[in-house]
Each structure stands twice: as structure tokens, then as C-alpha cells.
Structure 1
Amino acid sequence: MQVPDDAVGRREEGEEEWDDEETYEGEEEYDESSDDELLPKALPIEGAPSFDDGPPTSAEEYLRQVRWEAKQLPKVVCAKINLRQFDDNRTKYVPRAGQVKAEEESLVTPSSHFPEQEWMEAFLSDFKELREALEASDWRAPRQVDQPSKLPHSRDVRAWECFCLGGKVDDAPSTEDGVEEQTASHGGNPPLVSTLATLDEVRTAALLQQMVKWVESAPSLSEQHAQWMFSLLCTLSTPIDASTAASLRALVRWCYKRRALAPSADPEVERCNILLAIAGRHFSQGGDVKIVAS
């Protein structure tokens, strides 16, 4: 379609002229000063602050300085977060279900490492009676236990690892009452009743989850690891939450691998079988893992 030459720049009668850049209704160029116009002023103060007179001597001068300092700040800020502080709470490796099953099937557990079905039933019966006896005795009552030694703060994971399993804490751990202790190196403490009685249901589950992480990073299942795991599992309240269930499943997988790789006469085999029976059978987190001899 050919446009007549005289059509350029021509408009209908009553039609307004337009510029090269169209401006829509309500559209304006951004101006930083417009922010002050959009927000209602609670305390309208005019004028600029005077910094030559020293600190503000009146409320008006104080508000002028506050307003001036606010305008110096950027409109968008980015917080600097140290991501390394989340390393202890991060799952390092999460294999897929198929990978877990393939890894388990590739392990060949010697037949001598499997417990008998009769032993499994007798042990689970004794373990259940032990938990019921603890619940009936009200063993957490302060009047029935000795006062424990000063425990680390509930959030000090490194100090708890040193307290339970031994080692050296680089920084002085703070106790529950805020008192800092001297850095020391020792072999850890056994899971005494006086210590376990100070842990409520939430702290017991949290310490158990942390204990599983320490076990997973250890080269083998030591007697001290097994004692703490057994004691915490005895006092663990039911029903368990999702995080605790996930930790028990991780414990089952780790014990299954360690049992398959341990020598026949190694006491670690018996420790793994005990934890497999508790976590896998009593708390029903074993899944398809083969725990007893078929």
C-alpha cells in the first residue's frame, strides 16, 4: 500500500501531536528525590544538618542528621555471609536410592558376621524392657541422680565432641552457665546417668543426630562411640521426628558397611550388630538392609 507524500506529519482534526518518544500516563523518569515525596513524613524537618556545632543539641537537629545519614546509605545492600559456618549442618553427600542399593549389594558380608534370629529376638526384648523400666522409674528426676559435672553449652558442637569422645578443643568451651573452661585434652567421658538425666527430649535427639555424624566420619566404631549411641538410643523418646529417623537410617547404612569390612574377630562386628538391631529393628529404620542371617 503506497502512502501519500502529504500524509507524513498530517493528523486528523482534534488529534494531538506526538513526540518521537511516547509518554504514557503515570510514567515519569526516576528521581531519587521522588522517594521523599512518596513516603509521608512523620516528623517534617526542613533544612540541612550543621556538623560544625558538634553533637545535636535539639531534637530537630538530631532528626536532620539522621535523615542526612540515611540518604548516604545505598538503596540496595548485600550481606556478607560466611558460608563456612553452615558446614556442620550440611549433608556432604546424598546418594540416590539406586546408588545406595547398588553399594549395599556390592558389599559381601561374611556369614559369620550376621547374628542369629534367636539372638535378635532376645536382644530386642531385653532392650524394650530396659526402655520401659527407664520410663517407669522417672530416672530424669533431679533428686534421683547425682549432680553432673559442668556440661558444654548446647550449641557448642566441638566442645560436646570433646566431652563425649575426647580430643582437644582449640577454643575454650563455654558451659551452660556461661563460664569458660580452660582448653584441655582428655579421653572423653562415659555416658553416665547423671549426664543423660540433664538432657531433655530435644537435646537427646540433637546429640544423637550429632553422634551419628561423628560416627560416620570415624574410621571405625569404637567402644566409646557404641556406648554413647546405645545410651542415647535407650533414652530417645518416641515417636521420632523426621530428622532423627534420617540419622538412624544413615547409621544403619554405615554399620552395615563397617560390619562387612571388619575382620571376623573384631569387636566392632558385635557393636555394629547391636546398633543395627536397635536402629534397624526397634526403631524400624532398617529398610531393605539385611541385618540377620536368612
Structure 2
Amino acid sequence: MASDSDSSDCGLLNQALPTPTLSSNFRPVAAPTSAEEYIQHVVWEARQCKAVVTVDLEEHKLNKPIAVVQKQVKATAPKGFTPSLESQQNLMASFSKLRAHIATLRASGKIPRPPIVLPGIKKREEWCKLCFGNSFQLALLKQSSQDSMQPQLIEGQQPLLSILLNIKQKGIENLLEWHAQWLEVLGFSEAQGRWFYALLACLEKPLTPETCSQIRHIAMMCAKIRASLETADHPHLSQLNVIICIVARYFCQEDLVDH
């Protein structure tokens, strides 16, 4: 709104309500006591606004480099290293059947007792020993080139359903995260391949964003290891392909699918 006495509007605004000319004794700090005085206050405040407002930019902030996060790309497998579409479909059918069996056992409440006492869900070192025996410890000692006498090899536990069904989902998620860390440290092993398969079979949907990111990271690492294999006859290739296929197809990470 504007009054006839306001010459700064250049005729661009039409007057909405008639307003009297502001008197010389108009006090903008005084609270309006009527509708007419309220409109006079609005008109007065509008006149205090500049027609053009500028901002002084701080050039050093404009030139500050911005961090760019690049999306990870799955390592390309050598020719002949990826499974056929038929093999992947058969794997998905078998994996889905196993998950249905696990769901039936959970629903029945008749979960078998584990053959051993299970560690707490936060006991990473104890779970490492359970999964791998002391082979992980021996491998670390070998990496550090320690000349001290090494302990005798103790075998780890197989990923039995009687063990996995007695682990809560938070524990399953913890184990996946720890296995990913162990994979980065010592590389892939057949024992770990079996544990990855079993853990993915017991992982309930829908996934949390953190767990989804974790299994993607696992599949990406498996793809990187696969790309480094020298021959398609390598004993680890089939397990690596299984893990990549399950993450990509069953857990709907389409950009990781082997075509």
C-alpha cells in the first residue's frame, strides 16, 4: 500500500487503502491505538526501506575450494570371470529358498541351541576367534614378522544355523562390519566366504542405510579382489561371485550387477 504523498513508488504500486498524510508530530515508536494509526505505521516503515539493497561479498569465501566426493565404481572383472545370467538366477533361487527356511524357523520359535557359548554382540576379538580360530592372529603375527614362537593353529567355527539364529540382528550387522574390516586387513579366505554367505542369508529386510552401505562396500571389495585374480580357475572366484551377486541382485544394488 502507498499514499499519494509517497513519491518514491514511481507509480508502480496501486494504493490499496486511503491513508492521511503523516503529521509532523507522528511518533513511529508509539504503539498504534487504532486501525488508521496502524496503517500509518506500515506506510512509515515501508518508506524506511531502500529501493535497492546491495550485499558486500567476501571474495575469499567465494574462492574457497569445495570438496567433491566421487562415487565408487565397481572394479571391472576380467573376461570370463563373471557368472552367466542362468547361474545367477539359479543362485538367487537357492538363496531365496534358504532365507524362506530361516524365516520359517524364526517364526516357529524352535531355534536350536548353539553348540558353543556365543560372545556378546560387542566382543569383536572373541567373534574373530570364533569365526577364524586363531588363524587371524597367526596371520597378523606373520605380517609383523615376529620371530617369537607362534601358537598352535586352532580351527574356527562353521557358520551353522544353530549359531546364526541365536544372534540378534544388531549382532548380524556388527559381524558384517567386522568381517569387512578383516577382509581389508588380510584379504579373502574360503572361511570368510562361508561366513559372508551365511550372514547375508540371515540379514533381515528392510536394510538400514548403514547396513546397505556396508554390504555395498563388501561387494565392491570382493569385485576388486576378483579383478586382481590371475586365472578364472582360482578357488576364491566362485565365492566372490556369489557375494557380489547376492548383494547386487537380492538386495537390489543394481549398479553392482554382473551383466
In the alignment, structure 1 residue 160 sits paired with structure 2 residue 127: yes
**2:254 and 2:218 mapped to 1: Cα distance?**
9
Q: Which residue among 227, 231, 248 is the counterpart of 2:215?
A: 248
CA deviation vs aligned residue, 1:76-102 (integer Å, no higher than 9, x gap): xxxxxxxxxxxxxxxxxxx9425x33x
Is the Cα contact below 8 Å between 1:248 and 1:285 reproduced in 2? no
Structure 2 counterpart of 1:269: 237
**1:167 and 1:140 mapped to 2: Cα distance?**
35
**1:126 and 1:278 mapped to 2: Cα distance?**
11
Q: How does 1:1-294 map to 2 (within 5 A)?
A: 96-98=69-71, 100-101=72-73, 104=74, 109-138=77-106, 141=109, 143-167=110-134, 186-219=154-187, 221-262=188-229, 263-287=231-255, 289=256, 291-293=257-259
Which residue type is aligned with residue 281 of structure 1? R
TM-fit CA distance, 1:225: 0.3
CA deviation vs aligned residue, 1:138-195 (integer Å, no higher than 9, x gap): 3783x4413431222322211111111122799xxxxxxxxxxxx9962211111221
**2:202 and 2:155 mapped to 1: Cα distance?**
23
> Aligned-residue CA RMSD in angstroms?
2.5
Is the Cα contact below 8 Å between 2:114 and 2:166 reproduced in 1? no
**1:184 and 1:154 mapped to 2: Cα distance?**
27
Note closer, same or farther for the CA distance 1:109–1:153 as it changes in structure 2 (3 Å cut): same
Q: Which has the higher contact order (CA 8 A, sep 6+)?
A: 2
Is the Cα contact below 8 Å between 1:169 and 1:185 reproduced in 2? no
CA deviation vs aligned residue, 1:167-224 (integer Å, no higher than 9, x gap): 2799xxxxxxxxxxxx9962211111221121012211221222222122222x2110
Is the Cα contact below 8 Å between 2:132 and 2:156 reproduced in 1? yes
Which residue type is aligned with residue 124 of structure 2? V
TM-fit CA distance, 1:137: 3.0
**2:233 and 2:223 mapped to 1: Cα distance?**
16
Unmatched segments (≥5 aa) in structure 1: 1-94, 171-182
**1:147 and 1:233 mapped to 2: Cα distance?**
19
Percent of aligned positions that are identical: 22
Which residue type is aligned with residue 261 of structure 1? S
Unmatched segments (≥5 aa) in structure 2: 1-67, 138-150
- TM-score using structure 1 length: 0.55
Which residue type is aligned with residue 156 of structure 1? K
Note closer, same or farther for the CA distance 1:140–1:255 as it changes in structure 2 (3 Å cut): farther
List structure 1 runs of 4+ shifted beyond 6 angstroms: none
